[in-house]
Structure 1
Amino acid sequence: MSAADAFYITTPIYYVNDKPHIGHAYTTISCDVIARFMRLDGKRVMFLTGTDEHGQKVAKSAELKGIAPQAFTDDVSERFRELTKLLNISNDDFIRTTEPRHRDACQVLWKTLVDKGEIYLGSYAGWYSVRDEAFYQESELVGGKAPTGAEVEWVEEPSYFFRLSAWADRLLAHYERNPEAIQPASRRNEVLSFIRGGLHDLSVSRTTFSWGVPVPGDPAHVMYVWIDALTNYLTALGYPDTTDDRFKAFWPTVHHTVGKDIVRFHAVYWPAFLMAAGLTPPRRVFAHGWWTIEGEKMSKSIGNTVDPHDLVSTYGLDQTRYFLMREVPFGNDGDFSRQAMIGRINNDLANDFGNLVQRVLSMVQKNCGGKVPSPGVDAALLAQEPLIADAHGLVERVRPLIVAQSYHKALEEIWATVGAANRYIDREAPWTLRKTDPDAMARVLYILMETIRHLALVVQPFLPTSAARVLDFLGVAADDRDFKAVGTAHALLPGRDIAQPQPIFPRIDTSAPAPGAG
């Protein structure tokens, strides 16, 4: 396998100091969409998620519960693993930073950086935020707090440092050569501004707590959480064995998806660590925005965090996936509101797509004996029909949008074809043709069925369960559901039985209870 055939997508590994919320679901679903699309498009995909389990914050959380850190992380990590099942996530691996394979990878990377003269022993005195697991300069504090609003404390201790100050010019040169390596553009500008403002050597070890990966040869120190956590992306590919086929194929294609609050770690510290170790930096870091809840900042203290379990149980799984990917341009901040979600479900899903499928297949059941009708023309002539041509080109139009992680635009493109199909059925009125021209009715219904087949194929990454149901209704075989099935060669065969359609997206009663907060 070559890198040209491979695609590596990662979520950040989620910090195990609390239960999953809507933000975790958002990031994970977005990565699942691109992973599923790439598989359908013929790529070999590696999709990684997992949990970040070391650091002072975890140790304190465990202490407050009166349990050992490992027992604490075992429990919370399992909640994130369960989240992948709840959301129908197709990840290929789930990594935990407490695993032996990860400890070994971290220690090899550390030794490599030491051998190359990139890490040295010194002492640290400065402001540290336990919540952010980050050090801040005096000039970065706002009102005596971190820029994130977190409390800071003065820390003085021996520390190993990474020579980050030596990497500014090389980082800037890398981003000059690879302008797409940080997305969206606002985050790229933020990162470049930070680098140009001057980089300081980075403290990469701690001695005031012990819950972490021990520094090789100096067990009084544990690795700073970011050098530990970030290495997970290498660990999952078999690092330090860089001759591993997975590493050789996937690492050059790595795409990291992160929240905007951790873009600095992924787009400044991480590529510097990698280049210093003789490894290539990430192909892309995409930093998405944050969600507010009904116009308010999400906060445990005011009790408005939304549990993904409540979303799924109240609105449905694919409905939740659709809303999160459709409502907000990926990269921007967004607001979750119950009214907006119900609007998307009832209008986009139930009225537009679901009703299209129900109308067309019900007419086929009623007027064509439950069998695929004959279009009455050959494939070449059929392909010239505007709606068929539109459907045949859908994957080509959506592909660059998915590659750019512009998920809302991809869905807009798909729904443009949904709209075209609905206008076509209203214009051609097959219920009238049934009496005046049955052959024309059959052709219209066949064109609509083929359009629905293509819509179901391309919407699979977003709505995997619902798309599968539509393809089941049409009798499409399991091995005819990837993008090689686009076009006339795999078209529905006239005379084949179709299933009795059932509603795919039930309308939401506006009096339904809001999802619970917690």
Structure 2
Amino acid sequence: MAKPPIYLTTPIYYVNDKPHIGHAYTSLATDVLARFKRLDGHEVFFLTGTDEHGQKVEKAAQEAGEDPQAFTDRVSQAFRDLTVTMGFSNDDFIRTTEARHKAACVALWQVLAERGEIYLGDYEGWYAVRDEAFYGPDELTERDGVRYAPSGAPVEWVREPSYFFRLSKWLPELLRRYDLPEGHPERIDIQPESRRNEIRAFIQQGLKDFADRPEKLDLSVSRTSFTWGVKVPGDPAHVMYVWLDALTNYITAVGYPDTHHPRWKFWPADVHFVGKDIVRFHTIYWPAFLMAAGIAPPRRVFAHGWWTNEGQKISKSLGNVIDPVALVAEYGLDPVRYFLLREVPFGQDGDFSRKALVNRLNGELADALGNLANRTLSLIQRNCEGRLPADAARSVEDAALFASVDGVVDTLRKHLDQQHFHSALEAIFASVREANAYITRQAPWALRKTDPARMAAVLRHLHTALRCYATALQPFMPGTMAALLDQLGVPRDARHFAALDDPLPEGTPLPPPSPLFRKIELPA
């Protein structure tokens, strides 16, 4: 039976600055899940791109002495280049300055207006240009006469005519959908659980505070104080609120407003991957816009944590922003990809440490996996004429190895369906450790003289284990695992999970092995 299509998205990245480690991290998680689902037989659509409108971009372009379109063209390209540097397998790269996206925004606005979900009024409140968001007085702090949003951005009092979206109308329905049981088709799943609790509490407090005036919870969705954005249809003095514009990208890319488009089968999105700073927009505003327009909301929003650098908060003023391009140049692409998802449970904050990266590279990748592969394949070269031994029956001595190997793919499905990337990697490397213990116990180099048939069986079992690890680790380290699968003699069309049930034929020629990972010495 055909497996359902899968739609995975990164946030579209704001083009007021160049890419950093946070952008690479979010996209990497999305890429790994996309690659995994493809190997597991799903048709996948993986979207990333750039968010290019709004007051903040207009201001950054002015400071750079550029026209906003020229500025966004230049900075957007840096994000497109990052997808190549990091080996991401995205199926589309969307820009909000594209004609297809502007058409989708206009169409969504018109549907919302026709349904009575948008009305014209006046707005005043505390506004943070950096966040493109308004904040309530109780959310602000004050230092030296300046008020600041929870994000640390300064706010100013703004009053202007504005169109409003009837957000208050949809808040009870959002709470209902958050609380539906797992697997319910209408459930909006927010992960990790701490973010779900945070969003629920935020809505409940708002409904309580404004029970007598629910319109206070409605959302301003247009601006007249700047011009860099999508014009409101029928009222060009207004541009659409940047978040209404930006969030619409997720349906633009699958064909909206053409719901007969071949890509529309992917909607609703299975997972929107976001940073925790934008979870409110994706779990409150976005599903409310969609439900108001008669469109199904996304199934899940997963908000990951933030990185620090060697224990320090990352900031441009401290000069400790981590450049993912430089990191890949120094340590190699696949070790960086591996480390970012291995070191910290996805959803929690984590600290980036070069020492920790090198320890993972040297210990788990080079010593555990790389050494296991080199020892096994070298023994096959020397003792089996470089050809794969026959598939052999399993003995009692092999039970512990296969107890860990046979369940690897099912374990990965369980963990990756919950976006528990570190747990998936830990499960694989627990099996790698068992395989290293197995080769030491069985000592195939000694069996050549005492029991050559058993030696061949042991080497075949180790090859089977390595094939499983290499196949399962492809989403995390695609380049290195392709090299390992080449060394294992696995054909290109047999590198998906279902193919693991088909043993390679006896006598398959194997090329001489070569090291998979380069160990790095830490400075004294």
TM-score (norm 1): 0.95
Q: Does 1:196 align with 2:208?
A: no
- Give the whole-Å Cα distance in 1 for the aligned partners of 2:396 and 2:503: 11
Of 148, 161, 164, the residue aligned with 1:161 is: 164
- Give the whole-Å Cα distance in 2 for the aligned partners of 1:396 and 1:332: 24
The aligned counterpart of 2:62 is 63
Letter in 1 for 2:152: G
Letter in 1 for 2:504: L
Q: Does 1:419 align with 2:427?
A: no
The aligned counterpart of 1:312 is 328
Q: Deviations over 1:244-290 (max 9, x none)?
A: 2321x211343100000000000000011000000111100000000
Of 250, 260, 267, the residue aligned with 1:243 is: 260
- Give the whole-Å Cα distance in 2 for the aligned partners of 1:282 and 1:90: 21
Of 378, 391, 394, the residue aligned with 1:362 is: 378
- Is the 2:365–2:517 contact (alpha carbons within 8 Å) kept by the matching residues of 1? yes
- Is the 1:55–1:212 contact (alpha carbons within 8 Å) kept by the matching residues of 2? yes
- Is the 1:392–1:486 contact (alpha carbons within 8 Å) kept by the matching residues of 2? no
The correspondence of residues 213-232 of structure 1 with structure 2, limited to 5 A, is 213-232=230-249
Letter in 1 for 2:306: W
The correspondence of residues 405-484 of structure 1 with structure 2, limited to 5 A, is 405-484=419-498
User: CA 1:19 to 1:178, structure 2 compared with 1: closer, same or farther past 3 Å?
Assistant: farther
How far has the Cα of 1:341 moved from its partner?
Answer: 0.6
The correspondence of residues 384-395 of structure 1 with structure 2, limited to 5 A, is 385-395=399-409
How far has the Cα of 1:386 moved from its partner?
Answer: 4.0
- Give the whole-Å Cα distance in 2 for the aligned partners of 1:411 and 1:153: 46
- Give the whole-Å Cα distance in 2 for the aligned partners of 1:492 and 1:390: 20
Q: Secondary structure at the match of 2:78?
A: helix
Letter in 2 for 1:59: E
The correspondence of residues 98-497 of structure 1 with structure 2, limited to 5 A, is 98-143=97-142, 144-177=147-180, 181-198=189-206, 200-247=217-264, 249-375=265-391, 377-378=392-393, 385-487=399-501, 490-497=502-509
The aligned counterpart of 1:515 is none
The aligned counterpart of 2:213 is none
- Give the whole-Å Cα distance in 1 for the aligned partners of 2:160 and 2:104: 26
- Give the whole-Å Cα distance in 2 for the aligned partners of 1:466 and 1:454: 14
User: CA 1:26 to 1:188, structure 2 compared with 1: closer, same or farther past 3 Å?
Assistant: same
TM-score (norm 2): 0.94
The aligned counterpart of 2:512 is 500
**Matched length:** 506
How far has the Cα of 1:436 moved from its partner?
Answer: 1.4
- Give the whole-Å Cα distance in 1 for the aligned partners of 2:426 and 2:403: 18
User: CA 1:356 to 1:410, structure 2 compared with 1: closer, same or farther past 3 Å?
Assistant: same
How far has the Cα of 1:197 moved from its partner?
Answer: 1.1
Letter in 1 for 2:474: Q
- Give the whole-Å Cα distance in 2 for the aligned partners of 1:310 and 1:162: 43
- Is the 1:14–1:52 contact (alpha carbons within 8 Å) kept by the matching residues of 2? yes
- Give the whole-Å Cα distance in 1 for the aligned partners of 2:181 and 2:21: 32
Letter in 2 for 1:87: M
Q: Deviations over 1:107-150 (max 9, x none)?
A: 11011111111111111111111111111111111222001111
Q: Secondary structure at the match of 1:61?
A: helix
- Give the whole-Å Cα distance in 2 for the aligned partners of 1:417 and 1:337: 26
User: Percent sequence identity over matched residues?
Assistant: 59
- Is the 1:383–1:389 contact (alpha carbons within 8 Å) kept by the matching residues of 2? no
Q: Secondary structure at the match of 1:91?
A: coil
Q: Secondary structure at the match of 2:267?
A: helix
- Is the 2:9–2:47 contact (alpha carbons within 8 Å) kept by the matching residues of 1? yes
- Is the 1:6–1:253 contact (alpha carbons within 8 Å) kept by the matching residues of 2? no
- Give the whole-Å Cα distance in 1 for the aligned partners of 2:148 and 2:447: 71
User: CA 1:165 to 1:506, structure 2 compared with 1: closer, same or farther past 3 Å?
Assistant: same
- Give the whole-Å Cα distance in 1 for the aligned partners of 2:414 and 2:337: 20
The aligned counterpart of 1:516 is none
Q: Secondary structure at the match of 1:434?
A: helix
- Is the 1:388–1:450 contact (alpha carbons within 8 Å) kept by the matching residues of 2? no
How far has the Cα of 1:392 moved from its partner?
Answer: 2.6
How far has the Cα of 1:382 moved from its partner?
Answer: 10
Q: Secondary structure at the match of 1:48?
A: strand
Q: Secondary structure at the match of 2:225?
A: coil
- Give the whole-Å Cα distance in 2 for the aligned partners of 1:330 and 1:388: 28
Letter in 2 for 1:17: N
- Is the 1:382–1:388 contact (alpha carbons within 8 Å) kept by the matching residues of 2? no
- Give the whole-Å Cα distance in 2 for the aligned partners of 1:283 and 1:14: 21
- Give the whole-Å Cα distance in 1 for the aligned partners of 2:290 and 2:269: 14
- Give the whole-Å Cα distance in 1 for the aligned partners of 2:413 and 2:198: 28
- Give the whole-Å Cα distance in 1 for the aligned partners of 2:389 and 2:101: 57
- Give the whole-Å Cα distance in 1 for the aligned partners of 2:497 and 2:522: 37
- Is the 1:49–1:95 contact (alpha carbons within 8 Å) kept by the matching residues of 2? yes
Q: Secondary structure at the match of 2:161?
A: strand
Q: Deviations over 1:142-165 (max 9, x none)?
A: 222001111111111111111111
How far has the Cα of 1:385 moved from its partner?
Answer: 4.3
- Is the 1:168–1:198 contact (alpha carbons within 8 Å) kept by the matching residues of 2? no
Question: Structure 1, unaligned stretches of length 5 or more?
Answer: 513-518
User: CA 1:384 to 1:355, structure 2 compared with 1: closer, same or farther past 3 Å?
Assistant: closer
- Give the whole-Å Cα distance in 1 for the aligned partners of 2:257 and 2:236: 21
